[in-house]
Amino acid sequence: MGLWNKVKGEFIDIIEWTDSSNDTMVYRFERHNNEIKNGAKLTVRESQVAVFINEGQLADVFTPGMYTLETENLPVLSTLKGWKHGFNSPFKAEVYFVNTKQFTDQKWGTPNPVMLRDPEFGPIRIRANGNYALRVKDAPTFIKEIVGTDGDFTTDEVTNQLRNIIVTRFTDAIAESKIPVLDMASNYDEVSAFCDNKIKPEFTEYGIELTKFLIASITLPPNVEEALDKRSSMGIIGDMNKYTQYQTAEAIGDAANNPAGGGMGEGMGMGMGFAMAGKMMDGMNPQNQQQQQGQQQQQAGGAPPPIPGQVKFYLAVNGQQQGPYDIPALKQMVQSGQLTKDTLVWKEGMANWIAAGQVQEMSQVFGAVPPPVPPPPPTPGQ
């Protein structure tokens, strides 16, 4: 059997490779004792490159096409063999077919959470994943740096190293971008392009070209996502009072539709209905609405609203704001000389500070003051 293989190997004169897999990157063409007949036909298909290795040294590289292996089209190998006057006997060489098609849908992801300093949330952890596509761009470099003597090299043998490069450069790029976590989804294209520029040079060192880099998702830890969902829910609910009224009305309807509750359910439903109706009537009463607004302002720490019809003014004294003062207080200030018609005053609704003598409401303040006492008449003889 060994002799037959030897004879068969010497007379086989067609060298080609058809790939039925989706992940083979390099295939070594097997021949008996690596003997190739003079005048053999070499077929290199599209998306392939054939590399000849002689005694461990890279010789010739053939791009797609059909070749007759003779001295004329094996310049490097001929020089290495010293075929100055041609050759007629079989020669020994290793032939590696390199697949140059794109290998798509290669997965990547962060094995551990990445720590970031987010401008809105502060220190935070994220995870990210996506996919990328690659192809062999420089076959000799790829064989020298990665493949070596592997006769059946697949993507699984190199993707772990490439994945580590991607994760490292992605982490650095996402930290440099300083994009808030909530805005990352709208900036996937920008982040992908930024990472692509950082990763490509390192792939090139292995003879590989990164043709596509995509981010599928960037996620937060589950507890942070839960807190963020609650925050979003509060924003959607809006007015808590209205939401409470709506929930109460829903509960009343559920209690009324639950006959199994018996008398207790009916009593609870009636009580809740009366309470709800009373609250709604109070809300429709304008006077009650004003009282509720005043109570809300007091609870919020603000001052109570002014009594209707009571006007209060602020005074500008020596560049300082004073007040507000009501009309009785202003009258006393006029009598004591603290307020004159030239004093600047302001009240709610006025655009600017105005002299008190020009404000209509202030007329009652100055009108209540008696005019200045006239000087005594001159004595006779003066």
State the Cα–Cα distance between residues 59 and 149, nearest whole angstrom.
15
pLDDT of residue 135: 94
Q: Could you please report the per-residue DSSP string of 322-369?
A: EEEEEHHHHHHHHHTTS--TTSEEE-TT-SS-EEGGG-GGGHHHHHTS
Q: At CA 218, angle to CA 217 and CA 224, rounded to 5? A: 130
CA dist 67 to 14, 38, 82, 92, Å? 10, 12, 21, 17
State the Cα–Cα distance between residues 219 and 215, nearest whole angstrom.
11
pLDDT of residue 4: 47
**349 Cβ neighbours under 8 A, 6+ residues apart:** none
Length of the chain: 382
Q: Which domains does the chain have, with CATH numbers?
A: 2-99 (no CATH), 103-224 (3.30.479.30), 312-367 (3.30.1490.40)
pLDDT of residue 1: 46
Q: What is the pLDDT of residues 58-69, one digit of tens each?
A: 889 999 999 988
pLDDT of residue 25: 94
Burial category of 27 from C-beta neighbours within 10 Å (exposed 0-12, middle 13-18, buried 19 and up): buried
pLDDT of residue 242: 67
Asked if residue 27 lies in contact with residue 151, where contact means CB atoms within 8 angstroms, the answer is yes
- Residue 165: CB atoms within 10 A of its CB come to 17
Cis, bond preceding 324 (omega within 30 deg of 0)? yes
pLDDT of residue 121: 79
207: its two tokens? 């003879």
User: Which residues of the chain have a pLDDT value below 70?
Assistant: 1-12, 32, 34, 82-89, 231-240, 242-243, 246, 253, 255-256, 258-309, 368-373, 380-382
pLDDT of residue 43: 93
